[in-house]
Amino acid sequence: MSYQHIRTSVADRVATLELNRPEARNGFTITMADELADALSQADANEDVRVVILTGAGKDFCVGADLSGMSFEVANGGLPEPGWVEPATRVTRRLFSLSKPVIAAVRGAAVGVGSTMLLPADFRLAAKDSRFGFVFSRRGIYPEGGSSWFLPRLVGMGRALDWMVSGRLIPADEALGAGLVRSLHESDEVLGAAQALARELVESTAPVSVAVIRQSLYRMSALPTPEQAFSLDSQLIASLGQNTDAVEGVMAFLQKRPPSFTRTVEQDLPGFLPWRERKS
């Protein structure tokens, strides 16, 4: 599809979504939000896509909302219209519900929504000179994209409070130490590292297993007790008798060869998953 503020491509079972406003340092717009949400939906529905890479054109990932372009949608009376969803959440909600792993490749600044949209990714790889910032307190506004839910789960409540209340910029080495990013690279090597990781996931993991694991970690870890996880795990393990991927995974391991998984998310996702009816 043709988009205005992002570029997309699919190669070797990997969909790459690139913020494409380098002249504005990839300032976030309503158009970009809606295009990202649509592109994520397209990638999720495409069985030929196994992994999504999210990156930005130019020297920066995203410097936040493009205030010159009226990126805020606000209600004069202070209340949103029924069904209205703020732009960052349009992206992060879709990322959260994805059945495929997401790798974020970050260079330069990732500030405001440039940081919040990264939080639902499974892997965040960054340049050594990149910097992050949840700068909302310094703009007199509020965190968006569900970041108050995601960030403490990634870095702990203490660090989330530090970063969000202060609104200070976070250098790459601090982000790495806190667990916000997986690894640091030279600026011109970040995308290549993300592509190498994507190839590894495509070649070695089962799509149905990944889809179940990704959602289980989010949905089950947020519950007050593990009882629902115990119940779900029992159902999942009991279903392995009808799971050809399980046989293939074991045989590939014993025969020391790459696996060839054939089950698809569209056809073979377990019907008893408790979140399936609620998927956005």
**Rounded Cα–Cα distance for residues 57 and 19 (Å):** 6
pLDDT in tens, 96-142: 999 999 999 999 999 999 999 999 999 999 999 999 999 999 999 99
242 in the same domain as 177? no
Residue 157 has pLDDT above 60, yes or no: yes
CATH number where 274 lies: 1.10.12
223 within some domain? yes
153 within some domain? yes
161 in the same domain as 38? yes
49 in the same domain as 129? yes
Range list of β-strands (E), 62-122:
102-106, 109-111
- pTM of the entire structure? 0.93
pLDDT in tens, 23-77: 999 999 999 999 999 999 999 999 999 999 999 999 999 999 997 755 566 655 5
192 within some domain? yes
Predicted pLDDT of residue 40: 98
112 in the same domain as 75? yes
- Total domains present in the chain: 2
152 in the same domain as 111? yes
Taking all residues of the chain, what is their mean pLDDT, rounded to a whole number? 93
1 within some domain? no
Sheet holding 6-11, edge to edge: 6-11, 14-19, 51-56, 102-106, 123-127, 183-185
Contact 162, 219 (CB under 8 A): no
Structural domain range at position 124: 6-202
223 in the same domain as 115? no
75 within some domain? yes
Predicted pLDDT of residue 280: 44
Predicted pLDDT of residue 242: 84
Q: Which of 46, 56, 45 is nearest to 16 (CA)?
A: 56
Predicted pLDDT of residue 83: 83
